[in-house]
């Protein structure tokens, strides 16, 4: 008697984490600005394990630094240029990981990155925002 055993190999498509941000944001020196970061995860949201990490890379010389961290609660930075400047403005259950940066300065010109991990969904892109601070609001001149 012959027994035939079939082995099926299935490829499981992993969608991964998808993070969405504006690609370019401009703000007036000294104002508050919301840096919007939303996400989609192929896994259901687990409030005990999801993490949000915001970082900043300056335009000129300088190293990347942490801006904000979230894991079950907000952890604003205790030191660095964003100390007392970065504030949580998100709602994890609404898939929103946004922050507010208060009183922006010219030294904030650079790239902000938003990285989200929702185990087991830990792979995916980081959202990047090219950020530019300018002197004043742009006015449209309606002279004829």
For 63-104, the pLDDT digits (tens) are 999 999 999 999 999 999 999 999 999 999 999 999 999 999
Q: Does 140 map to a domain?
A: no
Structural domain for 125, as ranges: 18-133
3-state secondary structure at position 139: coil
Q: Does 93 map to a domain?
A: yes
Q: Does 141 map to a domain?
A: no
For 16-61, the pLDDT digits (tens) are 889 999 999 999 999 999 999 999 999 999 999 999 999 999 998 8
Can you tell me the distance from the alpha carbon of 69 to that of 13, in angstroms, rounded to the nearest whole number?
Answer: 29
Task: Give the per-residue pLDDT at 5.
Answer: 31
Cα separation of the two ends of the chain: 97
Please state whether the predicted TM-score (pTM) of the whole model is above 0.85: no
C-alpha dihedral (10, 11, 13, 14), degrees to nearest 10 = 110
For 101-116, the pLDDT digits (tens) are 999 999 999 999 999 9
Number of domains in the chain: 1
Q: Does 102 map to a domain?
A: yes
The mean pLDDT of 129-142, rounded to a whole number, is 78
Q: Does 41 map to a domain?
A: yes
Q: Does 73 map to a domain?
A: yes
User: What CATH number should be reported for the domain holding residue 41?
Assistant: 2.60.40.10
Can you tell me the distance from the alpha carbon of 128 to that of 68, in angstroms, rounded to the nearest whole number?
Answer: 14
């Amino acid at each position: 008697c012959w027994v035939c055993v079939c082995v099926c190999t299935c490829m499981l498509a992993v969608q991964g984490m998808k993070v969405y941000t504006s690609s370019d944001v401009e703000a007036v020196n000294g104002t508050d600005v919301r840096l919007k970061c939303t996400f989609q995860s192929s896994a259901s949201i687990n409030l005990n394990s999801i993490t949000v990490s915001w970082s900043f890379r300056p335009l000129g010389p300088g190293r990347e630094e942490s801006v904000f961290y979230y894991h079950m609660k907000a952890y604003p930075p205790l030191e660095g240029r964003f100390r007392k400047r970065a504030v949580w403005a998100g709602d994890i259950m609404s898939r929103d990981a946004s922050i507010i940066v208060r009183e922006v300065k010219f030294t904030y010109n650079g790239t902000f990155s938003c990285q989200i991990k929702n185990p087991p969904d830990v792979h995916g892109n980081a959202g990047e925002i090219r950020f530019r601070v300018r002197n004043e609001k742009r006015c449209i001149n309606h002279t004829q």
